[in-house]
Amino acid sequence: AIRMTQSPSSFSASTGDRVTITCRASQGISSYLAWYQQKPGKAPKLLIYAASTLQSGVPSRFSGSGSGTDFTLTISCLQSEDFATYYCQQYYSYPKTFGQGTKVEIK
Amino acid sequence: EVQLLESGGNLVQPGGSLRLSCAASGFTFSSYAMSWVRQAPGRGLEWVSAVSVISDSGGSTYYADSVKGRFTISRDNSKNTLHLQMNSLRAEDTAVYYCAKEGYCSSISCYRHFDYWGQGILVTVSS
């Protein structure tokens, strides 16, 4: 199975900050990568797919980049509603695997 | 509007069985692959199983190693419903189970991320 490793696991940030989360795949997955946001007690929400394609309705402050094994999710100007846990996921092959999550907390 | 509504969650004893269902609406259910994803309390997301679109050659199913041989995924396109039959349940199967719709295929590629999720249903395995 392809292992997905996110970093950091958690961090604190302030509203207005630019934040970056990284995701590394244990083998090449081309651009078959998605990013999700999850808030407590809620289902995950798709933010980005194909590594850099913004899902319809998602604010443009979210962006994704990368291909092969290294990927990043960037939030250009953190808003209060962005404090949540973020997951990357590869869909290059089964079993589809998620990163362990990155929790973004309020500083 | 795409809607996915899970049902069937419950408290069950170790070794028992449970059948989850996911009622889909707002899209052509038969045209999309579907998956189950679970999340144990306080833990991350774990993909569980997927079923492909049913073609002339039949449909394909996929399972995580942790559930292979114990869980069975199926779909009823006539009722727009996805199922997960869970047998020989273990304490470590305790989780919120989400039904998720996979993305689309274009002429260039298939995008098999999860674009819509249900609200989740709790399965508790405990004596």
Q: What is the pLDDT of residues B12-47, one digit of tens each?
A: 999 999 999 999 999 999 999 999 999 999 999 999
- Residues B72-88: what's their mean pLDDT? 96
A interface with B, Cβ–Cβ below 8 Å: 1, 32, 34, 36, 38, 43-46, 49-50, 55, 87, 89, 91, 94-101
Residue A45 pLDDT exceeds 90: yes
Q: What angle do CA B35, B39, B45 make, to 5 degrees?
A: 70
Which of B51, B47, B52 shows the shortest CA–CA distance to A34?
A: B47
CA distances from residue A76 to A34, A48, A82, B67, B103 in whole angstroms, order as listed: 18, 14, 11, 39, 26
B interface with A, Cβ–Cβ below 8 Å: 35, 37, 44-47, 50, 62-65, 98, 103, 109, 111-120
> Residue B58: what pLDDT?
61
- Residues B52-76: what's their mean pLDDT? 88
- Chain A residues near residue B109 by CB distance under 8 angstroms: 50
